[in-house]
């Protein structure tokens, strides 16, 4: 899923305080899963803002909505009437949702309330971890299902650099070394010799380096 994190409350307050009618628009999909932008977070943020603005004696009408998937125009449309009554929408969807809202409601200010961070998983309680770099040419078959593009801080292709220590990355004790994990899994399966072959330079043209990507499935038309 797409993982995002809410922007600091102070930053949101500063962006909103000059407006009169604000809609907080959540998204019930990925960002709800990572508890940043779903129905509950809409309610919580709305309460926090009401209290903050009351304290500052600023009068702003705060409304709430949660769109099933803010990245889907049809689902946005269901909430159009409510959106059109506002002068600003604080979207707490991922960056895709914010852009879809901006496209549909060109006359209304759409502000991002989250920082979209990565594609990842709910690795342990209250903790999400990056898993995929979306590079467009998956090599997980060569790396025992652990992605070095997303999970090695240098996106190395041929094993751990000299900086790995005790299974941790050189950048932080809290960051597992993806290549240490890959080596470990090869060892467990008795397949360490598979790591002897060189993975050649990656073709990054399937990644962001090839420009914004488009997926057109003509066969589905």
Partner 1 sequence: MKSGSRLEKILEQGNFAVTAELGPPMSADAEVIAKKAAILNGTADAFNVTDNQTAVVRMSSIAASAICVKEGIEPIMQMVCRDRNRIAMQSDILGAVALGIRNCLCLSGDHQSFGRAGKLLGHPGAKNVYDVDSINLISILRTMRDEHKQQGGDPIKSDVPLFIGAAWTPLGDPVDFRVIRLGKKIQAGADFVQTQGIYDVERFSDAMKKAREKGFHEKTAILAGIIVPKSAGMLNYMNTSVAGVSVPEKMIQRMSQAENPKEEGIKITIELINEIRKIEGVRGVHIQPIEWETAMQEISGKANLLPRPETA
By the rule CB under 8 A, 158 interacts with partner 1: yes
Q: How many residues does the chain have?
A: 221
Examine residue 201 and tell whether it contacts partner 1 (CB under 8 A).
Answer: yes
Q: Which of 87, 157, 176, 206 binds partner 1 (CB under 8 A)?
A: 157
Would you say 45 or 146 has its CB closer to partner 1?
A: 146
Stretch that binds partner 1, among 74-82, 95-103, 138-146, 165-173 (CB under 8 A): 165-173
Residue closer to partner 1, measured from CB, 14 or 209: 209
Per-residue x/- marks for partner 1, 170-199, CB under 8 A? xxx----x--x--xx--x----xx-xx-x-
Beta carbon nearer to partner 1, 162 or 211: 162
Is 4 a binder of partner 1 (CB under 8 A)?
Answer: no
How far is residue 146's CA from residue 154's CA, in Å, rounded to a whole number?
A: 14
Question: Looking only at residues 92 through 111 of this chain, which bind partner 1 when binding is defined by CB under 8 A?
Answer: none
Among 36, 91, 143, 164, binds partner 1 (CB under 8 A): 164
Phi-psi region of 118 (alpha: psi -120 to 50; beta: other; left: phi over 0): beta
C-beta closer to partner 1: residue 104 or 185: 185
Binding site for partner 1 (CB under 8 A): 153-167, 169-172, 177, 180, 183-184, 187, 192-193, 195-196, 198, 200-202, 204
């Amino acid at each position: 899923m797409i993982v995002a994190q809410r922007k600091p409350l102070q930053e949101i307050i500063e962006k909103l305080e000059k407006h009169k009618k604000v809609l907080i628009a959540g998204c019930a999909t990925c960002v709800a899963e990572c508890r940043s932008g779903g129905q509950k977070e809409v309610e919580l943020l709305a309460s926090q803002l009401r209290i903050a603005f009351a304290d500052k004696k600023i009068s702003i009408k705060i409304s709430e909505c949660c769109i099933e998937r803010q990245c889907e125009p049809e689902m946005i449309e269901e909430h159009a009437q409510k959106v059109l009554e506002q002068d600003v929408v604080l979207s707490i969807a991922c960056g895709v949702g914010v852009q879809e809202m901006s496209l549909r409601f060109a006359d209304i200010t759409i502000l991002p309330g989250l920082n979209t961070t990565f594609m990842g998983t709910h690795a342990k309680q209250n903790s999400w971890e990056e898993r995929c770099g979306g590079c467009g040419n998956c090599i997980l078959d060569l790396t025992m299902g652990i992605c070095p593009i997303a999970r090695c801080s240098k996106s190395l292709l041929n094993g751990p650099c000299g900086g790995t220590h005790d299974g941790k990355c050189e950048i932080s004790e809290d960051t597992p070394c993806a290549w240490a994990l890959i080596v470990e899994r090869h060892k467990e399966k008795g397949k360490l010799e598979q790591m002897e072959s060189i993975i050649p330079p990656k073709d990054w043209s399937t990644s962001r380096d090839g420009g914004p990507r488009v997926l057109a499935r003509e066969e589905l038309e």
